[in-house]
Amino acid sequence: MARRLEGRVAIVTGASSGMGKVTAFQLAREGASVVLAARREEEGQAAAQEIRDQGGIAKFIRTDVSKWDDVSAMVDFAVSEFGGLHCAFNNAGISARGTDDWLALSESQWDQMIDINLKGVWMCIRLQAPAMIEGGGGSIVNNSSVIGRRGTGSAPYTASKHGVIGLGKSAAVQFAKNKIRVNTVAPGFIMTPIVEARLADNPAAAEMAGKAIPLKHIGESESIAETVTWLLSDDCPYITGECITVDGGLLAQLLPPPPTEG
């Protein structure tokens, strides 16, 4: 069976753990040469080495997506090491934790969230696009959240995730003439290391989350990786400017089911 990304070069940001790491492994299995980018160097280097140990092609570069020079260096690294750039999963982001109280929210908290979750995605697209244009086109997937389709108490997180969806639509229109497709994924509850650690401290919350999801379980990062791989591949050449929600049906219901007795 032919591998869907054979001979292509891909960047994955936030690739040291969670959805980013799992997606990097999936892209490598599909034949891509993968640049793993993240702030945590030890974990990122280890992930790249693990891909190589499994027969894949991968290298790591330390990257803070809130810094223009870092993002520029990341793209240059992909081109210099692997000869071009064809795919990108702009996944890096920070969580809403500690930003739910509007009256306690500081300007620095707002700026950090927007700089990483929204401005970082914009800079990635802005600097990835010229390299893809040089190579005749490509495909970009950005990571938002179900919060990008609804809302939560965290003003900066909600704003940033809505913004990512809007950025994807704008970029899709802008770069269609250059044969670059741009789409977004909006994950629901996904069992990343951060979520797993939080739920371990609160088993009741894990049970409630499972009951609230129509498919009755919290998702795995592999579901995101498969969706991203599909969007990056030639399997969907006419899809651009879209946001695909991967949430087990969470947003399809008007209200969560009522609690059961016992």
Share of the chain above pLDDT 70, in %: 98
The pLDDT assigned to 254 comes to: 79
The model's pLDDT over 146-182, given as tens digits with 9 standing for 90+, comes to 999 998 999 999 999 999 999 999 999 999 999 999 9
Give which of 15, 240, 17 is closest to 140, Cα–Cα: 240
For residue 211, being part of any structural domain is answered with: no
The pLDDT assigned to 210 comes to: 80
Which residue is it, tokens 């741009």?
182
For residue 4, being part of any structural domain is answered with: no
For 150-175, b where at least 16 C-beta lie within 10 A, e where not — what string? eeeebbbbbbbbbbbbebbbebbeeb
For residue 73, being part of any structural domain is answered with: yes
Range of the domain at 114: 9-190+223-246
For residue 155, being part of any structural domain is answered with: yes
In the sheet that holds 243-246, the strands lie side by side as 57-62, 33-38, 9-13, 87-90, 138-143, 180-187, 243-246
DSSP 203: H
Count: domains in the chain: 1
The pLDDT assigned to 261 comes to: 44
CA distance linking residue 81 with residue 158, whole number of Å: 36
Active-site annotation, residues: 157
For residue 251, being part of any structural domain is answered with: no
CATH of the domain at 28: 3.40.50.720
For residue 1, being part of any structural domain is answered with: no
Which portions of the chain are predicted below pLDDT 70? 1, 258-262
CA distance linking residue 259 with residue 23, whole number of Å: 35
For residue 230, being part of any structural domain is answered with: yes
CA distance linking residue 143 with residue 117, whole number of Å: 9
For residue 214, being part of any structural domain is answered with: no
